[in-house]
DNA sequence: AACGCATACAACCGCATGGAA
DNA sequence: ATTCCATGCGGTTGTATGCGT
């Protein structure tokens, strides 16, 4: 019955990941593809729980992630999507394929929420309080804790407004006039051709960091086949030290970082390595789907989607503008 | 230079859900 | 039908870093 536990809590390492661990994880995913996370700590010798490995990959190491400053457009999109979807960070992230839900959530909590609160406070001081708006906002910024006094009637009214807004947004997005379709990234993922930076920087950073230390701890990785790959990586990174690290990336992942990633957010071993046969069925389906999708969507749609969202008349828009 | 506080972000925790055994 | 695992998600925490005094 059932399965053995994914990892015993004893002997599981916690805290920040080291470059060595990152390389071991990247090497493993390169060989076997993402998924089956339970096997990752077992096969790599990483003293991490499977969950931690998955998170590290998803939020930091996987190709296609852009880190650093959020653009104004991105911030606007987040604000608008947040007002539309609430704290559904995964859903919001699907509209911003370069960003992870964790990143968006952090950015919201550290920057945008404060910005909006400040802005709202200024607004409320100036004019009579619009309780509906205030309540609605406070609700969305307090992780749906309903400790504040919103009567049921108000809540229902607000819900209806939200539904109306969602309908409106959907209508706008689907309208022929706009000729744009809002397609969450989860649906588009198979064929999206938009070029966005892979996590080259992240890999490069970790390689750089590793190179600094590698001189005295080359032997750090000392078990199983994965370490052979790690050693290859180390020697490769040494060989290319001072040169373009994206070449190293290319050799690791089998495609150049400036190219579109084979499968949007997910690393696709099917296209990166010949032994990724498990994914071949998937890619067949993806191919079929992409034909349909290409028929349904033109390449400009994403741009239009972004523009639509940025122009969508949420109250957040006026709040956001500085 | 040293200290304390604030901020940003990576990582963890707990829960929900779907699915395999 | 039941148990239990894998995964995904959102909330929270811990730590590194920056900044002011």
pLDDT digits (tens, 9 = 90+) for A254-313: 444 333 333 333 333 333 333 333 333 334 434 433 333 343 333 334 444 555 555 555
| CA neighbours closer than 13 Å in the CB half-sphere of residue A16 | 3
- 3 state DSSP class of A316: helix
Higher model confidence: residue A209 or residue A25?
A: A25
Nearest residue to A63 via CA among A209, A246, A286: A246
Higher model confidence: residue A92 or residue A127?
A: A92
Q: Å between A26 CA and B10 C1'?
A: 18
Q: What is the pLDDT of residue A292?
A: 32
Two tokens at A49?
């729980």
Q: What is the pLDDT of residues A217-263, one digit of tens each?
A: 443 333 333 444 444 443 434 433 333 434 444 444 444 433 333 33
Q: How far is CA A47 from CA A71, A137, A202, A248, in A?
A: 37, 42, 21, 26
Q: Å between A200 CA and C6 C1'?
A: 29
A20 contacts A210 by C-beta, under 8 angstroms:
yes
Q: Å between A119 CA and C21 C1'?
A: 29
**What share of chain A in percent tops pLDDT 90?**
0
Q: What is the pLDDT of residues A6-24, one digit of tens each?
A: 444 567 788 888 888 888 8
Q: Which residue is nearest to nucleotide C2 (CA to C1')?
A: A1
Task: Output the DSSP codes for A80-125.
Answer: HHHHHH-S-HHHHHTTSTTS-HHHHHHHIIIIIHHHHHHHHHHHHH
Residue matched to tokens 């309903």: A146
Q: What is the pLDDT of residue A17?
A: 87
Higher model confidence: residue A133 or residue A181?
A: A133
Instruction: Tell me which nucleotides of strand B come within 7 A of a protein CB.
Output: 7-14, 19-21
Q: What is the mean pLDDT of chain A?
A: 57
Q: What is the pLDDT of residue A311?
A: 58
Instruction: Tell me which nucleotides of strand C come within 7 A of a protein CB.
Output: 2-12, 15-16
CA–CA distance, A318 with A300 (Å, rounded to integer): 27
**What share of chain A in percent tops pLDDT 70?**
34
Neighbour tally for A151: CB within 10 Å: 9
The segment with the largest mean pLDDT, out of A76-90, A156-170, A172-186, is A76-90
Neighbour tally for A233: CB within 10 Å: 23
A208 touches strand B (CB under 7 A): no
- 3 state DSSP class of A67: coil
- 3 state DSSP class of A258: coil
Q: What is the pLDDT of residues A104-158, one digit of tens each?
A: 888 888 888 877 777 776 666 665 444 444 444 444 444 333 333 333 344 444 4
């Amino acid at each position: 019955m059932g399965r053995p536990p994914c990892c015993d809590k004893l002997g599981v390492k916690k805290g920040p990941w080291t470059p060595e661990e990152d390389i071991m994880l990247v090497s493993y995913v390169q060989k076997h593809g993402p998924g089956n996370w339970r096997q990752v700590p077992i096969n790599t010798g990483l003293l991490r729980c499977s969950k931690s490995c998955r998170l590290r990959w998803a939020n930091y190491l996987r190709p296609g992630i852009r880190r650093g400053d959020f653009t104004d457009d991105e911030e606007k999109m987040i604000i608008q999507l947040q007002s539309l979807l609430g704290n559904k960070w995964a859903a919001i992230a699907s509209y911003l394929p370069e960003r992870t839900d964790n990143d968006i959530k952090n950015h919201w909590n550290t920057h945008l929420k404060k910005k909006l609160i400040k802005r709202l406070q200024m607004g409320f001081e100036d004019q009579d309080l619009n309780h509906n708006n205030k309540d609605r906002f406070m609700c969305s910024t307090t992780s749906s804790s309903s400790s504040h006094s919103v009567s049921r009637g108000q809540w229902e009214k607000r819900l209806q407004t939200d539904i109306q807004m969602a309908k409106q947004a959907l209508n706008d997005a689907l309208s022929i006039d706009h000729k744009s379709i809002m397609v969450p990234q989860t649906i588009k993922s198979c064929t999206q051709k938009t070029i966005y930076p892979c996590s080259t920087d992240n890999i490069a950073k970790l390689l750089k960091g590793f190179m600094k230390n590698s001189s005295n701890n080359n032997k750090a990785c000392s078990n199983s086949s994965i370490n052979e790959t790690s050693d290859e990586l180390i020697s490769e990174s040494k060989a290319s030290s001072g040169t373009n690290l994206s070449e190293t990336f290319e050799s690791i992942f089998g495609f150049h970082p400036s190219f579109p990633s084979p499968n949007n957010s997910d690393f696709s071993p099917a296209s990166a390595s010949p032994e990724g046969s498990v994914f071949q069925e998937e890619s067949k389906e993806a191919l079929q789907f992409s034909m349909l999708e290409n028929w349904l969507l033109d390449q400009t749609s994403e741009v239009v989607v972004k523009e639509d969202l940025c122009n969508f008349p949420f109250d957040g828009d006026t709040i956001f503008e500085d």
